[in-house]
Amino acid sequence: MKRLMLAAAVALAAAPAFADEGMWTLDNLPVKQLSERYKFKPSKSWVEHVRLSSVRFNDGGSGAFVSPEGLLITNHHVALGQLQKVSTAERDFVKDGFYARTREAEMKCPDLEVNVLQSMANVTKRVLKAVDSSQPEKVQNEQRKGEMARIEKESMEKTGLRSDVVELYHGGEYWLYRFKKYTDLRLVMAPEMQTAFYGGDPDNFTFPRHDLDVAFFRAYEDGKPAPVKHWFKWSADGAKEGDLVFVTGHPGRTDRLKTLAELVIERDAVLPYLLKQYKRRVLALKAYALTGPEEDRRAKDRIFSFENTIKAFTGQLEGLQSQKLMAQKSAEEKALRDKTLGDKKLSARYGDVWEKLASTAVEYGRRHKEYLARQRMAGTKLPEFAATIVRYVAEVQKPNDKRYEEFRDSALESLNLRLFSPAPIYGDFEEAVLADALAFAKDELGESDPWVKAALDGKAPAKQAAALISGSKLSDAAVRKALVDGGVQAVEASTDPLIVWARAIDPHYRELRKWYEDNIQASRAIQGKRLASARFAVYGKGTYPDATFTLRLSYGKVAGYGEGTTLVPYKTNFGGMYARGAAFDYKPPFNVMPRVLEAQGKIDPATPLDFVSTNDIIGGNSGSPVLNRDAEYVGLIFDGNIQSLVWRYAFTDEQGRAIAVHSKGILESLKTIYGMKSLADELTAAPRL
Amino acid sequence: MKRLMLAAAVALAAAPAFADEGMWTLDNLPVKQLSERYKFKPSKSWVEHVRLSSVRFNDGGSGAFVSPEGLLITNHHVALGQLQKVSTAERDFVKDGFYARTREAEMKCPDLEVNVLQSMANVTKRVLKAVDSSQPEKVQNEQRKGEMARIEKESMEKTGLRSDVVELYHGGEYWLYRFKKYTDLRLVMAPEMQTAFYGGDPDNFTFPRHDLDVAFFRAYEDGKPAPVKHWFKWSADGAKEGDLVFVTGHPGRTDRLKTLAELVIERDAVLPYLLKQYKRRVLALKAYALTGPEEDRRAKDRIFSFENTIKAFTGQLEGLQSQKLMAQKSAEEKALRDKTLGDKKLSARYGDVWEKLASTAVEYGRRHKEYLARQRMAGTKLPEFAATIVRYVAEVQKPNDKRYEEFRDSALESLNLRLFSPAPIYGDFEEAVLADALAFAKDELGESDPWVKAALDGKAPAKQAAALISGSKLSDAAVRKALVDGGVQAVEASTDPLIVWARAIDPHYRELRKWYEDNIQASRAIQGKRLASARFAVYGKGTYPDATFTLRLSYGKVAGYGEGTTLVPYKTNFGGMYARGAAFDYKPPFNVMPRVLEAQGKIDPATPLDFVSTNDIIGGNSGSPVLNRDAEYVGLIFDGNIQSLVWRYAFTDEQGRAIAVHSKGILESLKTIYGMKSLADELTAAPRL
């Protein structure tokens, strides 16, 4: 009977009314649900403490302070990019791990930035006041973005803090988020990738799982460990079955509020196209990695990341292809639409919003391949740098509120950190990736596509990639900096083949971006605002916005689940990890690293390693803290299970689970496997808040 | 991508041409496949040794000799019935296990019989010669069965051996199988049921699995351990990944050669009806078990067995409901039919066989509910005994070749062993089961059904069950024996309410059995023979017959498989068992028995416990030995995984696997957990064949 239930679950049962759903902004927590279901009332100081102890990693993840001396914890796979950048053929910190046993040994990261959210202010009224709704959407969009730029600039000048105006509810609300920024981050500890990512690609997105996906950094200020007032105390017990737990972090993107028409384009055009691209790219990377051990090392983090993406997209696509999900979405949309059309005032104001968003979706579907090809060259650093430099010098000549948003004054510091990073760049790797990107664009868009024509310049993709990369000096950060500093004149005069190339494709990029901003972005923001207003009018604000890589809190409980006819436990332990290795005769990806194997006799095999909870998370939550009622640190989010992939579109906790490393497992491995007693002491000796 | 493959597999991909398929009779081994794929050629003496070391457990399983002193190994769940019968409220061997540390402590089983196949002779010609094919099917069937009875009787009188004429290929062949019979079996060792059936119902039919599903018996002759010439040597290494392995044993039933029309009746009528019955019965048993700890003990083995059956039927039904399987079956049938109809001679001989079997299937579907209700009263001992006694005395008055086959002279000794067993019978348990069986029959067939009318005698089911059981003396084996010995006269004169009841329902039973034999059995045998002849004519005899609880050999290899996006290892180990217990905080059914937990520090956690292989098995193979090329004992079959349930209708080894206990795990637990050194020594000290 349970098997039949599984089938139903895969087809996605409607989330039960009591599901612990939601990625809540900290100004609008689900106080009623928490109080009714868990008899928990977050105090103002609890919320503030949680906010100021939570950290955004701008490499694309989340994290937390866990000591008053600026100690930060996140996932190994969030740290992976930095680990790769400080590794060389001789010293491979990805493979061997990194262990700073003294403060002096802590190693500076080339281009990492983390942010801590200091304040949140609702600026919806001000943004909307700047928009003249009698104007065409395109003009409204310019007014809207101009005002956002002005608010950011004013705030930065006034406070010195990083200031972002964030758009929530697809334009329903605008908030000014101010961040304290740390850019001197040093690596403290990372285990071997094989230990962090135990079970490799087969076990990815599954549970039971046995990963020690953890890394420690330390924030520095003025060359010293940054003193912080807010950090999470390490829990002595960790998470137990049935516990109420919270996750703070920065979920990247959900599309739960999108209309049916938008989901259909996603399902039938965008996701299949992206999957095709990533699958091809990962094959190209693997072919490159096969050419030697150093090549394998260079490609490792990108292969890891692409395989992860492919699985996530596959799960999301299967969700959209399930009749049950689409029926649920359709019923939800119909309910809101019927209520809107049934009310004279609402109908007059918002009645046509679904049609407008549907025609925007169709328009996007018409050019999405071109847009994605010109917008991103997945995984190619040097070509991205070249294109960015060409745009950079042109954009900064414009007034701040007329620029592309990534070149606004408020964004330049973070951009410079990335653009002028001293991290090594490998020409042969860049060439392999660019060759595949060009070949894919050619195959998909055809040789006569103007961007493809400009990008290939009459050559075969592999030839063109070789010519561009081998002749370029852009892998030197100083060269890149000199070009930006030299402005339009220097860039115009440059004969670097990549700069010449970037100048050639730039008009095509700008043409399509203009199409996107005027036709797609404008409509999504203007109509999105109207749809949000209709939703607020009908349902009130007892809901949460789609994820936008801004700070959110989710709540849930520690719980196993049924799968097939059997049960998946809520946690795993070290004994299970050793057992899984032995069951595969330690064949990769189930080999156990020597120092981990040596510790087998010393670690109680029942020590928890990973656990699952019903917290609502998504990509971007990697590295998020899991907290108990006392805001103590009980776990470290690093994944969702396969059944959670559909959460991009709808939440259900029948089987979907967030996966975390258990706080006890982290502590035990620091002490017994890695001999990092002082780091363990720093976690546990920290005085209580 | 792997997820999509899973979906395809569940929908049942056609078995690839190289699958290690087949439950082969020992006269017709797949010599060509073994030689081509595995470079293995079974010698005549290898086959003889394997046959004479393999044992059939007439409680419904398989087993093997593993020492020259008559030591037998099988599954705990095959031994469960006997364990239950020797247990009492005070001494619960099911819960606590049984450990004979001396020969004297070995405990006699009340009614166990095991058989060893001594010889096999093809008697197809003789049986068919007795059949006059110009006669109606009904007469042919009587002639056929009469001749089978004569062959058996002659053989038994000549050799003193148990002699069965077995029907293979649904009537395509008849073989005389002669067995040496052991009826003095003594229990040597059985672990606690919780250890044998670790993970309980949720883990049933799954893998990874951590069961020590083992029990040892010893065959006695003349009060002494039976000396045997053939037994399996215990392998020092056990099974390793990729090894070619063999399974001998007695698969109970497959329906791979059935026609589409027959499968449709199975899918739409028989299986759903049986499932309904078992699901209801298991609820009734659980309700009874809840009334007290002793009641729980009494019902345990029956609940276990019914839950097992429900899962198996559910898996089989899902198989039949899968479009892919039915498409495959349809294509196979079409190919054979087209070839038959395309050949003038074959077409004239066999062309109408599919239509004939289809109309028989429809006829069976018309009365299958009545037939099943009257034929078996699932799980009721006393009513079955009463009905058997009434039939017994009547049947043995007839000439041997006119009796129901279960009352032929050649079958009486085995029947008496069961019927006069001293095993305890619990009236309250019998009453609970009978009440539900009567209520189910009433609900399904209606009060006006003649059998229901006779069985209820105007009373409500629960009242009637109480009256019949509480007033009966049949739980005393001596009373049963006296009735049989007293013959028709004694039975006619009996006022025991169950005997009175059995007399009342007997005519209805006989009426329906006659309908079944004349209309269903006759056609299945006569048309089955024609279908088999068509198949032999088109494809030759490079195939194997459907399972019939006769000795078979299957071959395969030790191999894990993919499930979802991840990999299932080919084996589990003790560390994994302890880890699974700890992951569930040792909550039932994942609690670990105290003496097993005490051994944790002493057993190498990497010691293999269970493993999987691609061997083709089905229910009845429980307790089968797994053998390596040298016919050494490497494992003990105890289950198939969920993906193997469909093997009743078609074999595929994409994910389907047989599950066995590893020989190393058995040895290690005897030595380290149970302190049974002398038993371990008997296994390993046995001199090499």
- pLDDT tens per residue, range B35-57: 999 999 999 999 999 999 999 99
The reply to whether residue B3 touches residue A575, judged by beta carbons under 8 angstroms, is no
The pLDDT confidence band at residue B15, using thresholds 50, 70 and 90, is very low
The reply to whether residue B3 touches residue A314, judged by beta carbons under 8 angstroms, is yes
Which amino acid makes up residue B89?
A: A
- Token duo for residue B86: 């020797």
pLDDT of amino acid B687: 53
Pairwise CA distance, residues B119 & B127, whole Å: 18
The reply to whether residue B605 touches residue A579, judged by beta carbons under 8 angstroms, is yes
Average pLDDT across chain B, whole number: 94
pLDDT of amino acid B13: 33
- With beta carbons under 8 A apart, name residues in chain A contacting B567: 202, 584
CA A439 vs. chain centroid, Å, equals: 27
Query: From the list A575, A583, A606, which residue is nearest B572 (CB)?
Result: A583
pLDDT surpasses 70 at B686: no
Nearest partner of B589 among A565, A582, A613, judged by Cα? A565
The reply to whether residue A314 touches residue B203, judged by beta carbons under 8 angstroms, is no
The reply to whether residue B605 touches residue A576, judged by beta carbons under 8 angstroms, is no
Query: From the list A3, A569, A585, which residue is nearest B314 (CB)?
Result: A3
Q: How far is CA A470 from CA A465, A504, B116, in A?
A: 8, 18, 78
Q: How far is CA B192 from CA A192, B59, B254, B289, B522, in A?
A: 42, 20, 32, 19, 46
Helix/strand/coil for B542:
coil
Q: pTM for this structure?
A: 0.92
Which residue, among A278, A567, A644, would best test binding to B if mutated, counting the most B CBs under 10 Å from its CB?
A567
The reply to whether residue B3 touches residue A208, judged by beta carbons under 8 angstroms, is no
pLDDT surpasses 90 at B376: no
Kindly report, residue by residue over B643-685, the tens digit of the pLDDT: 999 999 999 999 999 999 999 999 999 999 999 999 999 999 8
Nearest partner of A173 among A437, A500, A531, judged by Cα? A531
* Residue A491 parent element (H or E): helix A477-493
Pairwise CA distance, residues B51 & B42, whole Å: 12
Contact B84, B302 (CB under 8 A): no
| pLDDT: which is higher, A538 or B18 | A538
- With beta carbons under 8 A apart, name residues in chain B contacting A4: 314
- Write the DSSP symbol of residue B105: G
What's the average model confidence in pLDDT over A625-639? 98
Give the side-chain half-sphere CA count within 13 A for A401: 16
pLDDT of amino acid A426: 95
Q: How many angstroms separate the CA of residue B211 from the nearest CA in chain A?
A: 15
- With beta carbons under 8 A apart, name residues in chain A contacting B2: 202
Instruction: Characterize B304-332 residue by residue with b for buried, 16 or more Cβ atoms within 10 angstroms of its Cβ, and e for exposed.
Output: bbbbbbbbbbbbbbbbbebebbbebbeee
Q: How many angstroms separate the CA of residue B317 from the nearest CA in chain A?
A: 12
The pLDDT confidence band at residue A378, using thresholds 50, 70 and 90, is low
The reply to whether residue B569 touches residue A580, judged by beta carbons under 8 angstroms, is yes
What's the average model confidence in pLDDT over B495-507? 97
Contact B67, B629 (CB under 8 A): no
Which residue, among A1, A2, A3, A310, would best test binding to B if mutated, counting the most B CBs under 10 Å from its CB?
A3
Size of interface A-B (CB pairs under 8 A): 110
Contact A267, A646 (CB under 8 A): no
Non-local (6+) Cβ contacts of B399 within 8 A are none
pLDDT surpasses 90 at A247: yes
pLDDT of amino acid B10: 32
- With beta carbons under 8 A apart, name residues in chain B contacting A584: 560, 567, 569
The pLDDT confidence band at residue A404, using thresholds 50, 70 and 90, is very high
Kindly report, residue by residue over A279-338, the tens digit of the pLDDT: 999 999 999 999 999 999 999 989 998 999 999 999 999 999 999 999 999 999 999 999
Q: In terms of CATH architecture, what is B2-113+183-255+545-685?
A: Beta Barrel (2.40)
The reply to whether residue B575 touches residue A575, judged by beta carbons under 8 angstroms, is yes
Phi-psi region of B554 (alpha: psi -120 to 50; beta: other; left: phi over 0): beta
pLDDT surpasses 70 at B2: no
Which amino acid makes up residue B583?
A: A
The pLDDT confidence band at residue B6, using thresholds 50, 70 and 90, is very low
Kindly report, residue by residue over B575-625, the tens digit of the pLDDT: 999 999 999 999 999 999 999 999 999 999 999 999 999 999 999 999 999
Query: From the list A318, A572, A582, which residue is nearest B605 (CB)?
Result: A582
The pLDDT confidence band at residue A377, using thresholds 50, 70 and 90, is low
- Token duo for residue B640: 């198939």
- With beta carbons under 8 A apart, name residues in chain A contacting B206: 564-566
Residues from B contacting A (CB-CB < 8 Å) are 1-4, 199, 202-206, 208, 241, 311, 314-315, 318, 560, 562, 564-567, 569-573, 575-576, 578-580, 582-585, 590, 600, 605-606, 642
pLDDT of amino acid B540: 85
Write down the ipTM of this complex. 0.90
Kindly report, residue by residue over A131-166, the tens digit of the pLDDT: 999 999 999 999 999 999 999 999 999 999 999 999
Residue ranges covered by each domain of chain A: 2-113+183-249+553-685, 116-181, 260-536
The reply to whether residue A582 touches residue B241, judged by beta carbons under 8 angstroms, is no
The pLDDT confidence band at residue A96, using thresholds 50, 70 and 90, is very high
pLDDT of amino acid B379: 65
Which residue, among B4, B311, B565, B655, would best test binding to A if mutated, counting the most A CBs under 10 Å from its CB?
B565
Contact B74, B623 (CB under 8 A): yes
Q: Which residue of B has its CA nearest to A312?
A: B1
The reply to whether residue A566 touches residue B203, judged by beta carbons under 8 angstroms, is yes
HEC string for A451-473? HHHHHHCCCCHHHHHHHHHHCCC
Which residue, among A280, A566, A664, would best test binding to B if mutated, counting the most B CBs under 10 Å from its CB?
A566
Q: What is the DSSP string of B388-429?
A: HHHHHHHHTTS-GGGS-GGGSHHHHHHHHHHHT------HHH
Q: Which residue of A has its CA nearest to B209?
A: A566
pLDDT surpasses 80 at A497: yes
- With beta carbons under 8 A apart, name residues in chain B contacting A1: 314
The reply to whether residue B583 touches residue A565, judged by beta carbons under 8 angstroms, is no
Nearest partner of B52 among B38, B68, B32, B31, judged by Cα? B68
The reply to whether residue B564 touches residue A206, judged by beta carbons under 8 angstroms, is yes
Q: How far is CA B336 from CA A524, B24, B320, B323, B532, in A?
A: 61, 21, 20, 20, 11
Where does A88-223 have alpha helices with state H?
93-96, 124-129, 137-159, 193-196, 200-203
